[in-house]
C-alpha cells in the first residue's frame, strides 16, 4: 500500500499524486495542523477558505471511491504533517506527495521527511502550472535581467493562447495602454457573487472563530466559494458579468466599491479548484465569441499566463536567497494601521478596510496603495512580505514573495521589474476618487496637510538617487527634480522627514 498526502493548496482531481496512486489499494491523507495554520498569523477568512475547501474536496474524493484519512483541526493531537504521517507510513511502502508551493515546506519534504518517516518519500512535479521550473530555468539561462513581457510572449507561443499562427491576435502582444481608465460610474457595476453556506462551511467558520480569535480580520462577510462547483460559478460570473469591462477599469479604485470588475479568481486558482489553462481558455473564448473586447481578455490572460507563471518561475529559480534580498536597505517597521486600518489617509484606509473585511484587495490597491506606501516609507521587506502572506486569501509564498519583495519593494535590485513602482498621490488621484474624501491635500508636497505620498515620494527619489538616476525609465524624474527650486525641494524633504519621524501618526 502507498500513502498519498494532499496539501491544502492541491485541491485538484488532476493532481499528480492522484494520478500516481491506485484508489483500489492505496490511501490518501489530508490534515489541518497547527504548524501550517499558524506559522504566520493568517487572516481568519484565509484559514476558513482553505479548511472548508479541503473538507469539501475530501468529500469529493470519498465519493469518487478513494480511501481517505482526514484529520480535522482540534480533533487530533498532531502538531505537524510528519506527526500525522508517522503512523500511516509504518504500514506503507511509499509516501507520495506533489511538489508544494512553499520553499519552507518543500525543504522539509526533501530533507526532513525522509529521515522522520519510515517509508520512502516520492515528490512529484506539480503539473498544474503552465510553465515548469525547468522550462523557466531554460528561458532565464544567460539573461542578466529578466523581463516579464518577453516571458509572456514565449508563453503565448507555447500555449497558443490569443495567437493566429506565430502572430498575436489583434497585431500586438500587450494592450495595457488601453487598460487605465478611472471609473466614473458610466458603466453599471456587477452584483457581488455570494454562495449559500452548507454544514461544512458553518462548522469551519465556527471552528476558526473559536480556535483563531487573535488572527487578523473577521468572518462577518465571508463570500468565498469553497467547492469546485462554486469556483466554476465564480469563473462563469466573471466571464459574463465582469470581463467585458475588466480591461478598461482594471486599475481603477472607488470608495466603498471593493471588487469593481475584478475576477476574484486567484484564491481558487492558487488552491487548485480552478485550472489556469481552462480559465485562460474561457476568457479567450469570450473574445472569439464577441462577448468581451481584446484589451480586457488579453489583460486578464496576461495576469495568469504572464505574471502568475513568471513570479513562480523566479521563486523556484532563486529561493532561498531571494527571500533575504534588501537592495534598498530598508529597515523600518510596518506601521500598526496595516493591522487596524485606522489611518487618516483615505486611500490606505479603503485598501486596508477591504483587506480586513474580505481577505482581499485588488492588484492596484496592493501595488500602488499599501505596497507603494511601504516602499516610500522604507519598510523592511521581510515585514511587508509577511503581512501580505498573512492577510490575503490568495497569498501563498511562491506567488506572494516575488510580487511583494520584487515588484512592490524593488528589493531584488530590479531583477523582477525594471523600475520601482513608486508613485506620488497624483497617480492615486488619477485612478480613484479617494483623494476627494481625504483630509490630506493631494496637490501639495511641503505643507502640514500635504498628501504623505507626495512628500515621501520625492524623499524616496532623493535618497535613492545613486541607485536610480541612471535607470533609463527614471531619468525624466531626476531631470524634473533637478529643475525644481532648491527651497521647494528642501521644504518637501523636510515635510517627509517629519512624516518618517512618526509614521504611526498618519
Instruction: Count CB-CB contacts under 10 A for residue 199.
Output: 8
The secondary structure element, H or E, covering residue 53 is helix 44-63
pTM of the predicted protein model: 0.95
Alpha helices in 64-118 (DSSP H): 81-89, 103-107, 113-116
Q: Which three cell numbers, joined as nine digits, stand for 452?
A: 504623505
DSSP character at residue 435: G
Q: Which three cell numbers, joined as nine digits, stand for 438?
A: 481625504
Q: How confident is the model at residue 46 (pLDDT cuts 50, 70, 90)?
A: very high
pLDDT tens digits for range 272-315: 999 999 999 999 999 999 999 999 999 999 999 999 999 999 99
pLDDT tens digits for range 320-360: 999 999 999 999 999 999 999 999 999 999 999 999 999 99
pLDDT tens digits for range 195-253: 999 999 999 999 999 999 999 999 999 999 999 999 999 999 999 999 999 999 999 99
Q: Is the confidence at residue 178, as pLDDT, over 80?
A: no
Q: Which residues pair with 164 in a beta bridge?
A: 167
Which residues 6+ apart lie within 8 Å of 168 measured at CB? Answer: 153, 156, 162
d(CA 18, CA 25): 12
Which residues 6+ apart lie within 8 Å of 487 measured at CB? Answer: none
Largest CA distance in the chain: 79
Q: What angle do CA 225, 193, 297 make, to 5 degrees?
A: 95
Could you write out the DSSP letters of every residue in 307-364?
Answer: IIHHHHHHHHHHTTGGGG--TT---BPPPTHHHH---S-HHHHHHHHHHHHHS---HH
Q: How many residues does the chain have?
A: 506
pLDDT at 92: 92
pLDDT tens digits for range 431-483: 999 999 999 999 999 999 999 999 999 999 999 999 998 898 899 999 999 99
Residue among 233, 206, 211 nearest 222 (CA): 206
Integer distance in angstroms from the first to the last C-alpha of the chain?
60
- Contact between 4 and 96 (Cβ < 8 Å): yes
Q: In the chain, what are the helix, strand and coil shares in percent, each to the nearest 5?
A: 55, 5, 40
d(CA 339, CA 263): 25
pLDDT at 267: 98
122-146 mean pLDDT: 93
pLDDT tens digits for range 77-111: 999 999 999 999 998 999 999 999 999 999 999 99
Three-state secondary structure string covering 251-305 = CCEECCECCCCCCCCHHHHHHCCCCHHHHHHHHHHHHHCCCCCHHHHHHHHHHHH
Q: Is the confidence at residue 144, as pLDDT, over 90?
A: no
pLDDT at 302: 95
Q: What angle do CA 338, 344, 347 make, to 5 degrees?
A: 70
Residue among 37, 38, 33, 36 nearest 76 (CA): 33
Q: How confident is the model at residue 175 (pLDDT cuts 50, 70, 90)?
A: confident
Q: Is the confidence at residue 177, as pLDDT, over 80?
A: no
Q: How confident is the model at residue 146 (pLDDT cuts 50, 70, 90)?
A: confident
Which residues 6+ apart lie within 8 Å of 206 measured at CB? Answer: none
Mean pLDDT score of the chain, rounded to an integer?
95
pLDDT at 143: 85
- Contact between 440 and 449 (Cβ < 8 Å): yes
What domains sit in the chain, N to C, each tagged with a CATH number? 2-124 (3.40.50.620), 133-192+228-318 (1.25.40.80), 337-505 (1.10.579.10)
Measured CA distances, 34 to 38, 41, 290, 335, 479 (Å): 6, 11, 48, 27, 53
Q: Is the peptide bond before 320 cis (omega within 30 degrees of 0)?
A: yes
Amino acid at each position: 500500500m502507498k500513502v498519498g498526502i494532499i496539501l491544502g493548496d492541491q485541491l485538484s482531481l488532476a493532481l499528480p499524486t492522484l494520478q500516481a496512486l491506485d484508489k483500489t489499494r492505496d490511501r490518501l491523507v489530508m490534515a489541518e495542523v497547527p504548524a501550517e495554520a499558524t506559522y504566520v498569523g493568517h487572516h481568519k477568512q484565509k484559514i476558513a477558505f482553505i479548511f472548508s475547501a479541503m473538507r469539501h474536496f475530501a468529500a469529493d474524493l470519498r465519493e469518487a471511491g478513494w480511501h481517505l484519512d482526514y484529520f480535522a483541526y482540534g480533533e487530533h493531537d498532531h502538531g505537524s504533517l510528519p506527526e500525522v504521517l508517522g503512523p500511516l507510513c509504518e504500514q506503507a511502502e511509499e509516501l507520495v506527495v506533489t511538489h508544494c508551493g512553499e520553499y519552507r515546506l518543500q525543504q522539509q519534504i526533501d530533507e526532513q521527511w525522509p529521515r522522520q518517516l519510515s517509508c520512502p518519500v516520492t515528490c512529484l512535479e506539480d503539473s498544474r502550472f503552465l510553465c515548469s521550473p525547468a522550462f523557466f530555468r531554460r528561458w532565464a539561462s544567460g539573461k542578466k535581467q529578466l523581463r516579464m513581457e518577453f516571458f509572456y510572449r514565449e508563453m503565448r507561443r507555447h500555449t497558443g493562447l490569443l495567437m493566429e499562427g506565430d502572430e498575436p491576435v489583434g497585431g500586438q502582444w500587450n494592450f495595457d495602454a488601453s487598460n487605465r481608465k478611472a471609473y466614473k460610474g458610466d458603466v453599471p457595476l456587477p452584483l457581488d457573487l455570494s454562495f449559500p453556506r452548507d454544514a461544512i462551511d458553518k462548522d469551519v467558520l465556527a471552528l476558526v472563530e473559536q480556535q483563531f480569535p487573535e488572527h487578523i480580520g473577521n468572518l462577518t462577510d465571508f463570500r468565498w466559494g469553497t467547492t469546485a462547483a462554486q469556483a466554476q460559478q465564480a469563473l462563469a460570473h466573471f466571464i459574463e458579468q465582469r470581463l467585458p469591462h475588466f480591461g478598461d477599469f482594471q486599475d481603477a479604485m472607488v470608495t466603498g466599491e471593493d471588487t469593481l470588475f475584478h475576477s476574484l479568481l486567484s484564491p481558487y486558482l492558487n488552491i487548485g479548484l480552478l485550472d489556469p489553462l481552462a480559465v485562460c481558455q474561457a476568457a479567450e473564448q469570450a473574445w472569439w465569441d464577441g462577448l468581451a473586447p481584446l484589451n480586457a481578455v488579453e489583460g486578464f490572460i496576461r495576469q495568469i499566463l504572464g505574471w502568475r507563471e513568471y513570479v513562480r518561475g523566479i521563486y523556484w529559480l532563486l529561493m532561498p536567497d531571494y527571500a533575504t534580498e534588501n537592495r534598498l536597505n530598508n529597515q523600518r517597521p510596518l506601521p500598526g494601521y496595516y493591522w487596524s486600518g485606522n489611518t487618516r489617509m483615505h486611500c490606505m484606509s479603503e485598501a486596508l478596510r477591504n483587506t480586513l473585511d474580505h481577505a482581499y484587495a485588488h492588484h492596484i490597491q496592493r501595488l500602488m496603495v499599501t505596497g507603494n506606501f511601504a516602499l516610500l516609507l522604507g519598510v523592511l521587506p521581510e515585514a511587508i512580505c509577511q503581512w501580505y502572506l498573512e492577510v490575503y486569501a490568495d497569498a501563498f509564498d511562491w506567488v506572494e514573495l516575488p510580487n511583494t519583495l520584487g515588484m512592490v519593494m524593488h528589493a531584488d535590485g530590479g531583477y523582477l521589474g525594471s523600475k520601482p513602482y513608486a508613485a506620488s498621490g497624483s497617480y492615486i488621484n488619477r485612478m480613484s476618487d479617494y483623494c476627494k474624501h481625504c483630509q490630506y491635500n493631494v496637490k501639495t508636497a511641503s505643507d502640514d496637510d500635504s498628501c504623505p505620498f507626495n512628500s515621501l515620494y520625492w524623499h524616496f527619489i532623493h535618497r535613492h538617487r545613486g541607485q536610480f538616476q541612471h535607470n533609463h525609465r527614471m531619468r525624466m524624474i531626476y531631470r524634473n527634480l533637478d529643475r525644481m527650486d532648491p527651497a521647494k525641494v528642501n521644504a518637501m524633504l523636510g515635510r517627509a522627514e517629519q512624516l518618517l519621524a512618526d509614521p504611526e501618526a498618519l
